[in-house]
Amino acid sequence: MRLILFGPPGVGKGTQAKILSAKLNIFHVSTGDMLRNEVATDTEFGRTIRKILESGQLVPDDLMIEIIKKVIQSPQAENGFILDGFPRTLPQAEALTRLLVSLEMRLKMVISMEIKAEIVVERLSNRRVCRQCGMIYNILTDKVNDTMKCEKCGGELFQRDDDKPDIVRKRLNVYENMTAPVKFYYAKAGILRTIDAAGSIQSVTDKILGMLNIK
């Protein structure tokens, strides 16, 4: 089974991708993890990626497709994969289609996790991250307001700049403008499905599995 999972920042896309990966025994392909893994190889290709990332630029589409090609042909992806964070643009979606056709692979479904902007703003603006271990907390639900310390390692909790309300709203606008053509592309192909992702983690998982006709 080969899937793509779309969703704005803070919708829980990464969480659902991990759950589905385990449930369906398919490989979770996270673009962030892929890039970090390439850099860690310290090959010529990995060093090229490192330079691009360190300069603050986006990795060009042709290089992203090369990485995707390598990952989806790996033994880990033999049973299928779920793409998380790719494609982000129409040219990337078109390039991915060409790649899959060349490999005689087909996408089963593209799932777009939809949620109201203000829910995302509330979720992310209440998120705090441990400076030491990276553990993520929500100050509304995790009861860390009194200490603002990580329960795991005791590190200080802080708010990332891109989790501040004004920045979150800008990120959401960028996401909508960038992905609208991509969603239209997959809608025309007849494989786009949308779900309301405002509920609990389990309820969202159940909705996705229902779409896939899996209990």
* Catalytic one of 2, 123, 128, 171: 171
In this prediction, residues 122-132 reach a mean pLDDT of 91
| pLDDT of the residue at 186 | 98
Percent of the chain beyond pLDDT 90? Answer: 62
Which of the residues 13, 123, 183, 207 is marked catalytic?
13
User: Six-digit token pair at 133?
Assistant: 């271990």
Pick the catalytic residue from 88, 123, 183, 207: 88
Distance CA 61, CA 50 (A): 15
Q: Diameter of the chain by CA atoms?
A: 56
**123 tagged catalytic:** no
For the question of residue 88 being annotated catalytic, the response is yes
* Residue 207 annotated among the catalytic residues of the structure: no
Give the position of tokens 């606008």: 173
Domains and CATH numbers, the chain: 2-115+175-211 (3.40.50.300)
For the question of residue 13 being annotated catalytic, the response is yes
Catalytic residue among 2, 123, 127, 128: 127
Per DSSP bridges, beta strands 136-138 and 127-130 are: antiparallel
pLDDT band at 144 (very low <50, low <70, confident <90, very high): confident
Alpha-helix runs per DSSP H in the chain:
13-24, 31-41, 44-54, 61-72, 90-102, 117-125, 165-188, 201-211
* pLDDT value, residue 210: 95
| 160 flagged as catalytic | yes
Average pLDDT estimate for 129-149? 85
| Angle in degrees, CA 163, 169, 173, rounded to 5 | 130
Mean pLDDT calculated for residue range 136-150: 84
Q: Please, which pLDDT band fits residue 32 given cuts at 50, 70 and 90?
A: confident
Among 98, 108, 131, 160, the active-site one is: 160
Going by C-beta distance under 8 Å and a sequence separation of 6 or more, which residues neighbour residue 101? none
